[in-house]
A and B are shown apart, each in its own frame.
Chain A
Amino acid sequence: MSKATDADAELGVTLEINGQEVQAKQGETILEATERTDIDIPTLCAYADLTNVGACRMCLVEIDGSRLETACTTAVQDGMEVEVDTDDLWDHRQTILELMFSEENHYCMYCEMEGDCELEDMFNRAGLDSSRFPLEYPEIDPDTSNEFITMDLDRCISCGRCIRTCDEVVGNDTLSFGNRGKDATIVADDDVPLGESSCVSCGACVQSCPTGALYSPLSAYRGREEDCDVVQTTCSECSMGCELEVYTNSGRIVKIEGVEDGPDGGQLCEMGRFGLLGDDRDRIHEPSIRGEGAVGVDVATDRVADLLEDAETVDAVASDRLPSETLDAFAEAMDDYDAAVEVPGAGRAREEKRIARQVAKHFEKSPSGLRASGPRALLDADSVVVFDTDIVDTHPVAASYVRRASKGGATLLSVDEDEDRFGRKSDVSIEAGTGLDRVSEDAVEVVEEGASALSDVDAETLMDAVPALTSGIGVVVLGPDVSEDTIVNAYALAGMTGSKVLSLPRQANTGTDVGTDDLHGSADVAYLFAGDDREENVDRMLDVARGADTVIVQATRESILTKAADVVLPALDWFERSGTVTDASGADREIARVLEPRVAVDSDREVLSALSEAVEPQEVKP
């Protein structure tokens, strides 16, 4: 049943499938063995890395001329003879499919998944276009209570892929089977509407559903996959840097999926999968100047260059969602005008590096030895400490790794000022300031003085926590809203216990070196490169704008910020940009252009280089 076949295992088993000799690894299933061949065993309930359960019966194969077993759950054996396509097997598959056709609603022409449906493909493969049984499926009203996910259960084949995805991949356990027999169905929590359930709307179940039983209304009826162009890029919603597979049709983004064989295992969150689809803020197509209205790009850049040139002091702030190349160009252009440049969040990375160095020295380790390899290190953790459980909202994919670790038996300690968002999954919930987050602060001081000086600490909590961290692999997670003290604590705790720190800053691009200047505070001109930042994320820029005499905003969409601006320059949206960002694990991820820009500029960097070029040679001031 386990998928955990050692990747390096030798192909030591020889069996025969459909008369063809197949080499396989000890312990892998017949289905896995065929993945290296052109033999295609039909499946419906097997999916990606989910546990195989043998439910759909499509992969029944005949073994050694007698018994029938499911290829997805039966391990290979030397000398085994397997037949996949006998008439008997296809008779059974046909009967099963006809039963589904009769007992479930599989009117393809009305279904969102038509053309992309695995069940439809299976009907075709089995040579079926009708059922010998009368159509008797129950009419079940679709559950539309969740704005991103519709459950249309009369199209459900009860393969359980969504349940296993919610359980094994997302770690959320929202979905399960309810009722039994012919009435068995998928239920959310205790059979409540999905929109009222514990569902986090990550959409992983939608991606895993083989039929039209789970779909997103945001993508529904907007084109089959074969009609779409697909581009892989990187999500900019947080520092996880998840890979996106973006489907476009007729110049519109219609669907976003995770990349199953990519580094994130195909997982996305509500923001990445659905939030990016539905940005209904008004787009800024061309530059404008207060009092003059819309102007050409050249007019606007000239005006901005003049304003910057004339200013004694310039404060420049750029969104941390922007690619490194764009941020570098921004810093360069602003440097030409002697501006003070800030990228919110950039300071944290620098600060963390400093702290890691100090702590590492203390524990005689290398700074990089204190840091986790990346968010997926959580999946192998034996114990996890989370400072700031709001990662449930800000880094939902990382939060699901935490839940999976906890479900897999890891000890989970949560430290938060408010509610512990991991709830019952936490083994210990600690209110910030009362215990664990003070442990290591003290620890730093007392490493030399001895453990008895940990007086200020809830000793019981410490004793509970530290042994868990010291045995096996420990990961200390730093959420987005943590104080500098907490960062010190986290690194010290890691140093003390041999654990690793996983830092999850809010911003998408954590690797930028630019933007760590101190701003003037009330400058003559504020240049605010907001890009497609969400309104809730532009507080810092608003502050800067309020202190400045003249405000220049380079933005993708209209907001309170652009309303306050004297000059507005257009900017690209996330799907029009290209470049690289550095994710939380320090890896560079590629941002690829999904759609051609439909604004007056072709790239953000073009605007910035125009500003650079406009600057007159620096006069040396006396």
Chain B
Amino acid sequence: MSTLLQSDSLEEITSIEDLEALKRDGLDSLYPGKTKVLVGMSSCGRAAGADDVYDVLSDELDGAENAIVGQTGCLGFCDREPLVEVVEPNGQSIIYEEVTEDTAERLADAITRGDLPEGGVLAGRLHHEARSHDYDVPLFDEVPFYAPQERVVLGNSGLIDPEDLGEYVARDGFFALEEVLSSYTPEEVIDEVKDSNLRGRGGGGFPTGQKWEFLAGNEADEKYLICNADEGDPGAYMDRTLLESDPYSVIEGMIIAGYATGATHGYMYVRAEYPLAIDHLQNAIETLRSVGLLGDDILGSGYGFDLEIKKGAGAFVCGEETALMASIESERGMPRPRPPFPPQSGLWGKPTNINNVETWANVPQIVLEGADWFADIGTDQSGGTKVFSVTGDVRNTGLVEVPLGTELETVVFDIGGGTTGGDFKAVQTGGPSGGVIPEEYGDTPIDYDTLSELGSMMGSGGMIVIDESTCMVDQSRFFLDFCVDESCGKCPPCRYGTKKTLQILERITNGEGEAEDIEELRSLGDTMGEASLCGLGQTAPNPVMSTLDYFEQEYWAHIEDEECPAGDCELGGGAHANTYKILHDECVGCHQCAKACPVDAISGEQGEVHEIDPEACIGCGQCVEACPLDIIEVRGGEA
């Protein structure tokens, strides 16, 4: 990526003066005095074609005197990717949505001419010192998707180049660390975090300051900090996006915590399926080492901290902290009973503190803006904001950051733009560990405790909107299917309970349910919830238990009336009931369908008749689109 500042040309940073000098350079990079074209290049953007858009813009504007092209992270509105923001020298900008190679070419022309089009616009934005906007476009803060949001953690996402330390520093990056090292005692840092009411963003919601205090209170020759970036809930991608878009903020949070707790070594446990996040983190770590912001004697304080990445090999259970530590130790990723808790005996038996990506990223902001400011954003019980990935039956999907205490309906209707296939029915939070919150609780302020009281949980931030077109039994079946695959197998309630529960749910969605099944589901759920070893097994029945609590009549409709009210599952003949079949007589063996299949469910050599394995097929419909002869039939429900 072309950045104005190359990391290898950075000078060592040993004082606040060095930091301020880098900030000036970073501001020059962010606002270079000519038009800056920013392409959102996180995974969501790339998946939508941002790479090609970037190439077109770079080619077209190569050598242009009035414009420069750069990369940035995710601006949150994943539904509208690729997003391109054109920032004019005066600080006003226009964000274009769903940019294609064609529109990028036209956009480049317009930029060269100095006259920006007003079509295909998501919003306009005011940067830096700009106070007004010349174009007739809605402003960022007025767009319904963004208006209720408060971007604390995501403040840099979609603005800075995540690979450019200077641009992070331009946004006051590492000034929090400098302040802490120069004028806080470790106890004062912990007090500040405690006063902020920051709670763990990984889902549990444990008060972060208190957790740090435990670690600080345990003396040891070595203490560890771990960043848990093993995000694995289906539909959740907050941590990935944050690491891709603003890796330095996470690291800065960890160094501050290291100083506060006496830890000197950190691990970033990132799932290997996040290559871009790992790239950006690796770049950040190497850059910080080269300028001395990681290593011995950071900013002349005498305090030293270093950090390394450990890639997770694709196990959901490794997001559980004891399994995660086992994995770092090169052991099989299986949970251990707690106590001992990590602050007593964690990684390699040493005191350890584990926080989630988003938790770490909040820390510099708390130091910069103050604990009171942070606490004021949220509720009495929890300070700050929470990032959610909003998906499901909702018009606007994307990454959303709202103050804690925001009502669920605000997210579904104002930000999400309402449902897509019928009346709003429920919100599923907490992924496979969480549950549903039905429409009648739509005015619930989002907080750890309110969601738990309703039988769900905050979770790490997955939020799936469900409308009347989705079958609640099928929804539970989906999550149990996930848990069956992800159970480690150590304890029998989870090992077998998930399987038995899934079988019953499959029976019900196939129209073969029996009256006793409901009681069986509750009994199994009770034992799994109470008797499983770790959080995975304990929470695996939650999707079932909470849909039973609120939507038991849907289960009975399947069992007694043999119908799916949502018309969705196998029984209902909906999308989830589809079977895909290649018409053998007409297949020419072009292999396009097999190439398109994301799960390799299609077999057949080039030139031979191809076949879809119904067991492996996930019903995504990619093959139908790929087939040049239109000979893949969809049977069952609607495509």
Instruction: Decide: B484 and A182 in contact? CB cutoff 8 A.
Output: yes
Task: Take A56-B491, A99-B496 as given contacts and tell me if A181 and B486 are in contact as well, using a CB distance cutoff of 8 Å.
Answer: yes
- Residue from B317, B339, B499 whose CB has the most chain A CB atoms within 10 Å: B499
A516 contacts chain B at the CB level, 8 A cutoff: no
Decide yes or no whether B270 CB sits under 8 A from chain A.
no
Query: Which chain A residues numbered 36 to 61 have a C-beta less than 8 Å away from chain B?
Result: 53-57, 60
Contacts of A362 in B (CB 8 A): none
Q: Is the CB of B531 within 8 A of A96?
A: yes
A95 CA to B317 CA, complexed, in Å: 23
**Complex: A180 Cα to B333 Cα, angstroms:** 10
Report yes or no: A1 in contact with B486, Cβ–Cβ below 8 A: no
| A68 with B495, Cβ < 8 A, contacts A74-B339, A95-B524, A177-B332 known | no
- CB of B337 within 8 Å of the partner chain: yes
Chain A nearest CB from B351 CB (Å) reads 16
A10 contacts partner chain B, Cβ-Cβ < 8 Å:
no
Interface residues of B in 522-552 (CB under 8 A from A): 523-524, 526-527, 530-533
Task: Report A158-211 residues with CB < 8 Å from chain B CB.
Answer: 158, 160, 176-177, 179-184
Query: A267 → chain B, closest Cβ, in Å?
Result: 24
User: Which residue of the partner chain B has the closest CB to A177?
Assistant: B332
Q: Is B124 an interface residue (CB 8 A)?
A: no
Q: Are A92 and B496 in contact (CB under 8 A)?
A: no
Task: Report A-chain residues with C-beta under 8 Å of the C-beta of B520.
Answer: 132
| Least Cβ–Cβ distance between B76 and chain A, in angstroms | 35
* B461, CB-defined interface residue at 8 Å: no
Q: Which residues of A contact B532 (CB under 8 A)?
A: 57
- On chain A, the residues within 8 Å of B533 by CB distance are 54-55, 57, 70
Subset of 23 A-B contacts with CB under 8 Å: A54-B336, A54-B337, A54-B491, A55-B491, A57-B533, A68-B530, A70-B533, A75-B339, A88-B530, A92-B527, A95-B523, A95-B527, A103-B496, A133-B500, A158-B490, A176-B332, A177-B334, A179-B489, A180-B486, A181-B486, A182-B495, A182-B498, A182-B499
Contact pick for A102, options B315, B485, B489, B496, CB 8 Å:
B496
User: B492 within 8 Å of A by Cβ?
Assistant: yes
Docked pose: A91 CA to B522 CA in angstroms: 13
Residues in B neighbouring A308, C-beta threshold 8 A: none
Decide if B487 is an interface residue (CB 8 Å cutoff). yes
Q: Does A100 contact B (CB under 8 A)?
A: yes
CB distance A181 to B489 under 8 Å? yes
Interface centre among B332, B486, B496, by most chain A C-beta atoms within 10 angstroms, is: B496
Q: How far is the CB of B343 from chain A (nearest CB, A)?
A: 16
Chain B residues within 8 Å of A91, by CB: 526-527
Cβ A181 vs Cβ B487 within 8 A: yes
Query: Does B427 count as interface, using CB distance less than 8 angstroms?
Result: no
Asked whether any CB of chain A lies closer than 8 Å to the CB of B493, the reply is: yes
Chain B CB within 8 A of A580 CB: no
- How far apart are the CA atoms of A525 and B496 in the complex, in Å? 72
Q: Which residues of B contact A74 (CB under 8 A)?
A: 337, 339
Cα A103 to Cα B501 in complex, Å, equals 13
Query: Is B340 on the interface with A (CB-CB < 8 A)?
Result: yes
Q: Answer yes or no: B497 CB below 8 A from chain A CBs.
A: yes
Which residues of B, 453-491, contact A by the 8 Å Cβ criterion?
484-491
- Complex CA distance for A54 and B490, rounded to whole angstroms: 9
Given contacts A176-B332, A177-B332, contact A96 B492 (CB under 8 A): yes
Of residues A56, A74, A103, A182, which shows the largest number of chain B Cβ atoms within 10 Å of its Cβ? A182
Overall SS of chain A's interface = mixed
Within the complex, the shortest CB–CB distance from B353 to chain A, in Å, comes to 20
Whether B488 contacts A57 by the Cβ 8 Å rule is no
| SS class, residues of chain B in contact with chain A | helix
Interface size class of A (residues with CB under 8 A): 35 or more
CA distance A56 to B531 in the complex (A): 10
Question: A91-B527, A102-B500 are known contacts. Are A181 and B495 too (CB-CB below 8 A)?
Answer: yes
B524 surroundings in chain A (CB, below 8 A): 95
Contacts of A73 in B (CB 8 A): 337
Nearest-neighbour CB distance to chain B for A101, whole angstroms, equals 10
**Interface bits A1-26 vs B (CB < 8 Å: 1, else 0):** 10000000000000000000000000
Establish whether residues A183 and B489, one from each chain, have CB atoms under 8 Å apart when the complex forms.
yes
- The answer for the CA separation of A55 and B489 in the assembled complex, in Å, is 9
Residues in A whose Cβ lies below 8 Å from that of B484: 181-182
A611 an interface residue at 8 Å Cβ cutoff? no
**In the complex, which residues of chain B have a beta carbon less than 8 angstroms from the beta carbon of A181?**
484-489, 495, 498-499
Q: Is A157 an interface residue (CB 8 A)?
A: yes
Contact in complex: B527, A96 (CB < 8 Å): yes
Per-residue CB contact flags for chain B residues 215-252 toward chain A (1 = under 8 Å, else 0) read: 00000000000000000000000000000000000000
Determine how close the nearest CB of chain A comes to the CB of B258; give it in whole angstroms.
27
List the B side residues contacting A69 at CB < 8 Å: 337
A1-B336 CB under 8 A given contacts A56-B492, A180-B315, A182-B496:
yes
* Contact A60 B499, beta carbon cutoff 8 Å: no
> A180 touching B336 by the CB < 8 A rule?
no
Taken together as a complex, chains A and B put the C-alpha atoms of A54 and B537 apart, in Å, by: 14
B496 contacts A180, C-beta separation under 8 Å:
no
In the complex the two chains form, what is the Cα distance from A193 to B71 in whole Å?
53
Asked if A182 contacts B337 (CB within 8 A), the reply is no
